[in-house]
Structure 1
Amino acid sequence: MVDKKETTSQFLQNRIKKFSRVEKAFYLSIAFTALVLAVSIIFMQTRLLQVQSDLTKINAQIEEKKTELDDAKQEVNELIRSERLKEIADKKDLKLNNENIRTAE
């Protein structure tokens, strides 16, 4: 078994020695290109995961702001209720005039 490994190793060494400079440059460029592609793919996947994480955070913030907006709208609706306004007017001895009521939108 050891002899077989040595012969394989020697065979590869002899085969590599027989390559011309052009062939060596060609194979080296293929190996280099494969390495660059592998590193680029890893970098792009890492960047994609980072962007997806940022997008998830931003979507969560948007949902939080929508909830705050809905709560504020509900509070405005409660504050401008006719019964509440009439009650406040009665406490202050004022007359409720619906034409003077404005809503903020």
Structure 2
Amino acid sequence: MLEDKHRELTMQVIEDKIKTFTRVEKAFYGSIVLSGLILAIGIVFLQTKLLQVQSEMASVNQEISVKLLEIEDAKQAVNDLVRNARLLEIAKKEGLTLNNDNIGVAE
């Protein structure tokens, strides 16, 4: 009961104080509240954009990793194709000799 009375008295004091505010004070406090709301909305918007960019960045990094693996596989395939034993085997099948000076590697 005492708590309810205290609450009513507090509300009454706040209402009386609000009624005595001048137009300039009301505009000032209103602008502060409006600025706070705008800042809160802006922060939420920026955090959302940040999460979106981070997600896109993770996707791009994953694609880069896949492409790097493909490049490594291709390099390994090239190394397998130009190894000396294989070239010597092909040359012998065709009745040729292997001349290493005639072999070039494209980079």
> Same fold per TM (> 0.5)?
yes
In the aligned structure 2, how far is the partner of 1:97 from the partner of 1:87? 13
Structure 1 counterpart of 2:81, from 70, 79, 82:
79
In the aligned structure 2, how far is the partner of 1:41 from the partner of 1:20? 32
2:98 partner SS: coil
User: What amino acid is aligned across from residue 12 of structure 1 in structure 2?
Assistant: I
**CA offset digits 1:51-83 (Å, max 9, x no partner):** 111111111211221111111111101110111
TM-score normalised by length of structure 1 = 0.91
Which ranges in structure 2 are unaligned for 5 or more consecutive residues?
A: none
CA RMSD between the two structures: 1.2
Q: Which residue of 2 aligns with 1:16?
A: 18
Number of paired residues? 105
The CA deviation at 1:28 is 0.2
Which ranges in structure 1 are unaligned for 5 or more consecutive residues?
A: none
1:94 partner SS: coil
Q: Which residue of 2 aligns with 1:30?
A: 32
Q: Which runs of at least 4 in structure 1 moved beyond 6 Å after TM superposition?
A: none
